[in-house]
Amino acid sequence: MTGLASRTAIVTGSGRNIGRSIALSLAAEGANVVVNGHRDAAALDAVVEEIRDGGGSATAVVADVSRPDDVERLVHTANEAFGAVDIAVSNVGKRRRQPFEEITIDDWHETLAVNLHAAFYLAHFTLPGMRARGWGRVIHISGYDGWTGHIDQRAHNVTAKAALHGFTKAVAREFGRYGITANTVAPGAIRTKRDPEEYSHIDVDAMRSRIAVGHLGRPDDIAAACTYLAGDTGAFVTGQVIHVNGGEFMF
Q: Is residue 165 part of a domain?
A: yes
List for the chain the helix, strand, coil content (%; round to 5): 50, 15, 35
In this prediction, residue 203 has a pLDDT band, given cuts at 50, 70 and 90, of: confident
Sorting pLDDT into bands at 50, 70 and 90, what band is 60? very high
Between helix 41-53 and helix 17-28 the angle, nearest 10°, is 30
DSSP string covering 180-193: EEEEEEEE-SB---
The reply to whether 29 falls in a domain is yes
Q: Which helix (H) or strand (E) holds 156?
A: helix 155-175
Query: In this predicted structure, what is the pLDDT of residue 180?
Result: 98
Confidence of residue 201 (pLDDT cuts 50, 70, 90): low
Query: Is there a domain that residue 216 lies in?
Result: yes
Q: What are phi and psi of 12, to 5 degrees?
A: -80, 155
Residues 122 and 10: beta-carbon distance below 8 Å = yes
Report the percent of the chain where pLDDT is more than 90.
Answer: 89
pLDDT tens for 125-158 read 999 999 999 999 999 999 999 999 888 999 999 9
Residue 188 covered by a domain: yes
Burial-class residue 33 by CB neighbours within 10 Å (0-12, 13-18, 19+).
Answer: buried
User: How many domains does the chain fold into?
Assistant: 1
* CATH number where 21 lies: 3.40.50.720
Looking at residue 109, its pLDDT comes to: 97
Query: 91-130, pLDDT tens digit by residue?
Result: 999 888 999 999 999 999 999 999 999 999 999 999 999 9
Q: Which whole-number Å values give the CA distances from 247 to 9, 39, 45, 226, in the listed order?
A: 29, 34, 35, 18
Residue 199 lies inside a defined structural domain of this protein: yes
Question: pLDDT at residue 198 above 70?
Answer: no
- Look up the domain containing 38 and give its range: 8-244
Is 249 a domain residue?
no
Q: What is the mean pLDDT of residues 3-30?
A: 97
Average confidence (pLDDT) over 172-193: 96
* Backbone phi and psi for residue 132, each to the nearest 5 degrees, phi listed first: -65, -35
In a domain, 164, yes or no: yes
Per-chain mean pLDDT for the chain: 95
Q: What is the pLDDT of residue 204?
A: 81
Q: What's the CA gap between 95 and 75, in Å, rounded?
A: 25
Dihedrals phi, psi of 138, to nearest 5 degrees: -115, 125
Give domain status of residue 1, yes or no.
no
Say which DSSP state 195 is in: -
